[in-house]
Amino acid sequence: MAEGLEVTARWRGGFRADVAARGHEVAVDEPIRSGGGDEGFMPTELFCAALASCFCLAIGHVARKRSLDVPGLAVTVRSARAGRELRYERLVVECAADVDDDVLDRLIERARPFCWVSNTLAAGVEVEYGRRPKGNARTG
């Protein structure tokens, strides 16, 4: 497990950026109605995607440890905006799978400690802003 990660976003004009990590890349943009070109996920969708995918993998992890199959496993995250503020006040994580409800409930509970994203959100995180020293701005 990585102790720290590095993800880089490169501005491509307008509201478009390409985000890269470990040789993988994803396009980020805003919808046309917001002035973007709708060429990728919105950053807030990636934020919710991080939580949904991490929790999905956490459920898969605890199921594998118990030799359980979870056919149809899907995790959906819904966000609720904090009034007119540029942030969310609530995230709802909903899990579904073609297993008995009590089995899924136990998997959800056991998966919670294994989800890096939800653990980070629950504990709070310090965010520091600054600039890279000149000469360290990678091109690409």
Q: Are residues 78 and 20 in the same domain?
A: no
Q: Quote the strand ranges of the chain, DSSP E.
A: 8-13, 16-21, 24-28, 74-81, 88-96
**Position 1 in a domain:** no
Q: Are residues 19 and 46 in the same domain?
A: no
**Per-residue model confidence (pLDDT) at position 24:** 97
φ/ψ (deg, to 5) at 4: -150, 155
| Six-digit token string for 34 | 């917001």
Distances 86 to 83, 89, 112 between C-alpha atoms, Å: 8, 10, 27
**Position 128 in a domain:** no
Q: How far apart are CA 10 and CA 111, in angstroms?
A: 34
Quick check: 19 and 9 in contact, CB under 8 A? yes
pLDDT in tens, 16-62: 999 999 999 999 999 999 999 999 999 999 999 999 999 999 999 99
Q: Are residues 56 and 26 in the same domain?
A: no
Q: Are residues 55 and 30 in the same domain?
A: no
**Position 32 in a domain:** yes
Predicted TM-score (pTM) above 0.85:
yes
pLDDT in tens, 110-136: 999 999 999 999 999 999 999 988 876
**Per-residue model confidence (pLDDT) at position 3:** 81
| Cβ neighbours around 41 below 10 Å, total | 16
Q: 7: closest CA among 22, 93, 40?
A: 22
**Per-residue model confidence (pLDDT) at position 135:** 74
Residue type at position 112: R
Q: Are residues 30 and 69 in the same domain?
A: no
Q: Are residues 35 and 46 in the same domain?
A: no
Q: 53: closest CA among 95, 97, 102, 101?
A: 95
**Position 46 in a domain:** yes
